[in-house]
Amino acid sequence: MRCMRAIVCFAFLFFLASGTGTADDAPRVFVSIVPQQYIVHQIAKERVAVEVMVPPGASPHTYEPKPAQMVGLSTARLYFSVGVAFEKAWLPRFTATNPQMKVVAMDQGIEKMAMDDHDHDDDHHPHPHAQMQPDPHDEALDPHIWLAPPLVKNMARHALEALVAEAPAHAAAFQSNYEDFVRRLDQLHDRIGQMLADRQGMRFMVFHPSWGYFAHTYGLVQMPIEVDGKEPKPDQLRQLILEARASDIKVVFVQPQFSARSARMIADAIDGEVVLADPLAYEWETNLLEQAAALQKALR
């Protein structure tokens, strides 16, 4: 009996230890968004403690880091940026807080597409993605690169290289984890490609156009609902409903970080389906498969 209790107790302690996931002396690194944490975890496992700057539910376009996070940064060794809007204003402050911390751009070498935005040729209404980016060349570029497996392969390689440079003692483990992850990414890419193979050119609506790289990779077209980052006005909403009918839209994506009100109104008007699609979910592989399945089902 005593032995049994000892085993249960040991199992519980083990559970607690594995709950935190990292060794006490693991180097601390920061990432901007949750999907990057997933990517770094696949390569580093418990050998690195990965903290996320933009917490679940917050938008990486407008986030303002908390004072406690700035304190946390002071002992971090690496910061993995991804090119989301809040970084433009905050990265210089992060490096001022901790000049020793190395900033690694996970989006380096990735050619970004123009943002899908029905108003992007209207110069009087800058897109919200561009508000903190006065450089006109950056203005309409789509930051949501982490939703296309081939681009994530690229991001993972940057993470691998930075981790190996930071903790060379673990280089072999990082390399083999990375290779496993890349194999899974290839499989995921093939699988989603097969699921959507006969849906080519089909359109779906989405409140905030996060799924541009995903759509582009798998031959679909996303149509944004938000206008300048806001809910469409009544006349714009009527226009969107007409567009949705004309484009034979059957599915409308919403995400937890943005309002679903106008998306629901459009879906009701066209008798379509509203699907919750979180571009910032931690379980990244499962999430992409679920979105692909939702599209496969709705786009018939």
Residues of this chain that bind Zn ion (CB under 5 A): 210
Q: How far apart are the first and last CA of the chain?
A: 60
Helix/strand/coil for 180: helix
**H runs (alpha helix) in 28-144:** 34-44, 67-73, 85-97
C-beta closer to Zn ion: residue 26 or 226: 226
Smallest gap from residue 222 Cβ to Zn ion (A): 12
C-beta closer to Zn ion: residue 22 or 278: 278
Smallest gap from residue 258 Cβ to Zn ion (A): 8
* Own/partner long-range contacts of 255-261 (Cβ < 8 Å, ≥24 apart): 255/206, 255/207, 255/208, 255/210, 255/279, 255/280, 256/57, 257/57, 257/58, 257/59, 257/208, 258/59, 258/207, 258/208, 258/226, 259/207, 259/231, 260/207, 261/231
C-beta closer to Zn ion: residue 42 or 210: 210
C-beta nearest to Zn ion: residue: 210
C-beta closer to Zn ion: residue 47 or 61: 61
CA distances from 199 to 37, 148, 253 (A): 31, 17, 17
Would you say 269 and 259 are in contact if contact means Cβ atoms under 8 Å apart?
Answer: no
Q: Count Cβ atoms below 10 Å from residue 23 Cβ, excluding itself.
A: 12
C-beta closer to Zn ion: residue 146 or 178: 146
Smallest gap from residue 208 Cβ to Zn ion (A): 5
C-beta closer to Zn ion: residue 69 or 210: 210
Beta strand spans in 13-58 (E):
28-31, 49-52
Smallest gap from residue 224 Cβ to Zn ion (A): 10
C-beta closer to Zn ion: residue 133 or 210: 210
What are the phi and psi torsion angles at 127 (to 5°)?
A: -70, 145
Smallest gap from residue 95 Cβ to Zn ion (A): 24
Beta strand spans in 165-220 (E):
203-206
User: Cα 184 from chain centroid?
Assistant: 18
Helix/strand/coil for 140: coil
Helix/strand/coil for 290: helix
Smallest gap from residue 61 Cβ to Zn ion (A): 6
C-beta closer to Zn ion: residue 83 or 272: 83
Smallest gap from residue 58 Cβ to Zn ion (A): 11
Smallest gap from residue 271 Cβ to Zn ion (A): 28
